[in-house]
A and B are shown apart, each in its own frame.
Chain A
Amino acid sequence: MTTFGWPEILFLLRAAGWTLLLTAIAFLIGGAIGGVFAIMRLSRIKILRRIAATYILVIQSIPVLMVLFMSYYGLSVIGFELPPFLAASASLAIYVSAYLAEIWRGSIESVPFQQWEASSSLAHSRAQTYRYVILPQAIRISLPPTVGFLVQLVKNTSIVSVVGFVELARAGQLVNNATFDSFRVFGLVALIYFAICFPLSRLSRHLEKVMNASRPH
């Protein structure tokens, strides 16, 4: 049995790095896909709206754990062996895309419709209206809930430990199994999560206040 010392602490910190990397990848890829679905959801073309709505509904209705099992175990059954990191990133990105699509759709819709009217009355195309009038305002509106969702994502990356990927939560389990110093090990793991999430939560709260203060009447 080893004791809980510096090598173990460093191991946890390195694992926290994987958690951050996984969060970043899932957020960036999921964000890109989510942005496309948010716009599709508001398209004038019915079939695009339907596809986006269905995708969002399906993904939001199944646990991200099932998406992970399907991409890791399910795909290996039919011959595609995804490495754990890839399966984890892909599953989380899919999860992120559905939630961000909904958050961003709501943000776009909360820009007053008069802004659409004013923009199109000035001979702007729909794409120009999005680019110059709607999205700049929608992005401001979306910042607090988006950062808030990021906090959820950081914590939810822990589920990928079940396919054997060693991020912070899984690293905590491994160190605990070797040291049996559960209280200190998981205390430190919790502290690291807190150190990542707390500033983000504060940022989200702060953004919300700033946005409210400068909201057009």
Chain B
Amino acid sequence: MPAVLIDDVHKSYGKLEVLKGVSLSVETGQVIALIGRSGSGKSTLLRCINGLEAFQSGRIEVAGHVLDQDPKHLRELRKDVGIVFQSYNLFPHLTVGQNIMLSPRITKNVPQAEALALAKEVLAQVGLSDKFDAYPDNLSGGQQQRVAIARSLAMKPKVMLFDEVTSALDPELTGEVLLVMEKLAQGGMTMILVTHEMNFARNVASTTVFMHQGKIWEQGPSKELFANPQTPELRGFVTAGAH
């Protein structure tokens, strides 16, 4: 059974249709990159997968949960589906350690000692063991984003979503975040990422999906797709340097 199954999803904001029948299947352990111009619907699609955006028709099944807007169902689904945002969105009034321990404690009743061990484990995973007691404001953007990834990992998600997670970072800080994501991919995490990092998509994602005008325009094994784009739109997008 695929980890994520998206079937003919339509979404509009008022009259503006942003997703015009999108279908996509993601196997467990697969890494999928969603690329496309701004306004192509890639971020909206990603946000539909964990229910941050509602859609009008179609069906999404993720980690065994069928998406609807029932708050209780959404909470169960979100225990299994992590998301990392462009703007990190750490909780500024909590330390790094507290940021990570909060959700396992209050949503899964993980005991304090266990949550502590878990937090240390995921922080080590993103290479920030020494920042346990720091506040987010005292970290660089790259470090904050790695903490955000660690915070998601502490929920032991089955699927991870990444929404342009390096777009707000200075070029010299994107590398450290991409490295963490690459390690996650190698560890077998199922990942869907919206990205402008074409090299990362080509080298780390097994499949790349090019979205255009609210549709999946072209998809295929990443290396093939970038080497030999079939549609003029993707050809234009790839040669324009992606931005």
By a beta-carbon cutoff of 8 Å, the part of chain A in contact with chain B is 114-115, 117-126, 128, 132-133, 136-137, 140, 214, 216-217
Contacts and interface: CB of A to CB of B under 8 A. Distances in A.
29 contacts: A114-B87, A114-B89, A115-B91, A117-B52, A117-B89, A119-B91, A120-B74, A120-B78, A121-B78, A121-B82, A121-B83, A122-B78, A122-B107, A122-B151, A123-B103, A123-B107, A124-B103, A124-B106, A125-B75, A126-B71, A128-B106, A132-B91, A133-B91, A136-B93, A137-B91, A137-B92, A216-B92, A216-B137, A217-B137
A215 to B, nearest CB: 9
Contacts of B78: 120-123
B91 A118 contact: yes
B46 to A, nearest CB: 11
Contacts of B107: 122-124, 128
A29 to B, nearest CB: 28
Interface footprint category on B: 20 to 34
Contacts of A217: 137
Contacts of B209: none
Contacts of B91: 115, 118-119, 132-133, 137
B75 A123 contact: yes
Nearest to B148: A118
Contacts of B79: 123
* Main DSSP-derived SS at the A contact region: helix
A122 B155 contact: yes
Contact of B93 (A121, A128, A140): A140
A118 B91 CA distance: 9
B217 interface: no
Interface string B70-82: 0100111011001
Interface of B: 50, 52, 71, 74-76, 78-79, 82-83, 85, 87, 89-93, 102-103, 106-107, 136-137, 151-152, 155
A123 B63 CA distance: 15
Most A Cβ at <10 Å: residue of B78, B92, B102, B136: B92
A179 to B, nearest CB: 54
A107 B79 CA distance: 29
Given A121-B78, A214-B137, A132 B50 contact: no
Contacts of A216: 92, 136-137
Contacts of B52: 117, 120-121
Contacts of B106: 124, 128, 132
B72 to A, nearest CB: 9
Contacts of B137: 214, 216-217
A12 B87 CA distance: 57
A119 B106 CA distance: 11
Contact of B102 (A115, A132, A137): A132
A132 B102 CA distance: 8
B85 A122 contact: no
Most B Cβ at <10 Å: residue of A123, A137, A216: A123
A140 B91 CA distance: 14
A123 B89 contact: no
Given A126-B71, A133-B91, A121 B50 contact: yes
A128 to B, nearest CB: 5
Contacts of A128: 106-107
Contacts of A133: 91
